[in-house]
Amino acid sequence: MRKEELLGYFDSEQPKRPSVLRQLLKGKTTSSSLYWGLVYGWLDVIKMDPDLVNEQFKQDIADLVQAGYLAANDDHTVYLTEQGRKYYQEWRHVHWPLQRTKLFADYNIERWRVILRLLVQVCSEFSYANKNYIVVTNDIYAQNQVRRWFSGQSNKQQAVRQFTQLLRVCLANCNPQEADVFANTLIGHQVNGLTNAQISQAENIDEDDITNIVINITNRCLQEWQGSVVQPLITAVSAGGAVPIAAQRTYQEFMQGVPLAKIRQIYHLRQSTVEEHMLDNAIVLDDFPYCHWVSSELYEQLKGLAFTGETTIANWRFREAQQLMPELDFITFRLFQIMYVKGEKDGSH
């Protein structure tokens, strides 16, 4: 990720900790980073850049502070300066940031990109009855998935037509220049795709922007083709979601009526771990059963206590709340905060 793109995740009103953004981008989430991701509005970047180099990220933030685009506070938070806001607006006007980034948590986007390129090639060569060609990728998993999908089609001609139509419609709905960039990267029968460098020179677009354009259209295809003829290939790149599999399992069993104490016993988990699992799910789900911990009366009581302090509810510390309500436990406290933050974002307060 280019350092200029990082500016888009900060604002002047709410200081934010870059370390949280780094963890979310890499997909190295904890209950704490997920919570602050909710507070900061960053849940849609999870797993967006799993190969992010920590030291480079820190240096990029330092460079942006040095340039005057970000300003740092003593508590390790930073905020966007007016100079940074203007610079980012100008930068974004001529560059292509990533879009539909929430898909990165649910799917292996890089593998989907490889599968999509291979599928285009396979369908193109099939249309010309050519069986002798070098496949576009060495990714064995991608090769096997496309081979399995194609061999499973009882009417291959129809499947190719359906896929071709899907691609045509998707590209027709894209910006024409972006559609051309994407199409020029594809390989088919007697058609060798262009490199990013070649497209960059021809279109006068940065190579990093070429990469982002391709990813953006790749993401668009994935989103628009749900339930289509290529659904098995989409399912094949499922990445598990924003929270760990173990946390999803805990939540599923709880919703099936298994008490948390029993789940702890079955999987040899600490109480704090089970509670973190539930908090993770509360953060990312829209229909979490808060009522098991936070009644409407308790919610109003906690909100009243919070507003007597000098901090926001999102930043309210557990030990401060517990001093006012000694019987309060952490999971109830955090669920209250999550409820409040989500209500603030959707305007239900």
- In the prediction, which pLDDT does 47 show? 96
Same-domain status, 13 and 78: yes
Does some domain include residue 240? no
The predicted model scores a pTM of: 0.92
CB 126 within 8 A of CB 227: no
SS3 295: coil
Q: In the chain, which stretches have pLDDT less than 50?
A: none
Q: What is the pLDDT of residue 348?
A: 62
The pLDDT tens digits of the residues spanning 98-142 come to 999 999 999 999 999 999 999 999 999 999 999 999 999 999 999
Per the domain annotation, does 100 fall within a domain?
Answer: no
Domain boundary among 235, 253, 273: 235
Taking only the tens place, the pLDDT of each residue in 72-87 is 999 999 999 999 999 9
Structural domain range at position 220: 106-235
Number of domains in the chain: 3
Domain end: 178, 200, 235, which one? 235
**Looking at the structure, do residues 224 and 250 belong to the same domain, yes or no?**
no
Beta carbons of 282 and 338 less than 8 angstroms apart = yes
> Cβ of 292: how many Cβ atoms within 10 Å?
13
Q: Please tell me the distance from the alpha carbon of residue 219 to that of residue 101, in angstroms, as a whole number.
A: 8
Q: Is residue 135 within 8 Å of 121, Cβ to Cβ?
A: yes
Task: Tell which residue, 115, 103, 74, has the closest CA to residue 219.
Answer: 103
Q: Are 195 and 204 in contact (CB under 8 A)?
A: no
- Whether residue 80 sits in one domain with residue 34: yes
pLDDT of residue 347: 62
Q: Give the model's pLDDT for residue 139.
A: 97
Neighbouring residues of 184: CB distance < 8 A, sequence distance ≥ 6? 193, 194, 199
Q: How many CA atoms are closer than 13 Å to the CA of 147, on its beta-carbon side?
A: 9
**Residue 150 belongs to a domain:** yes
Distance CA 37, CA 28 (A): 12
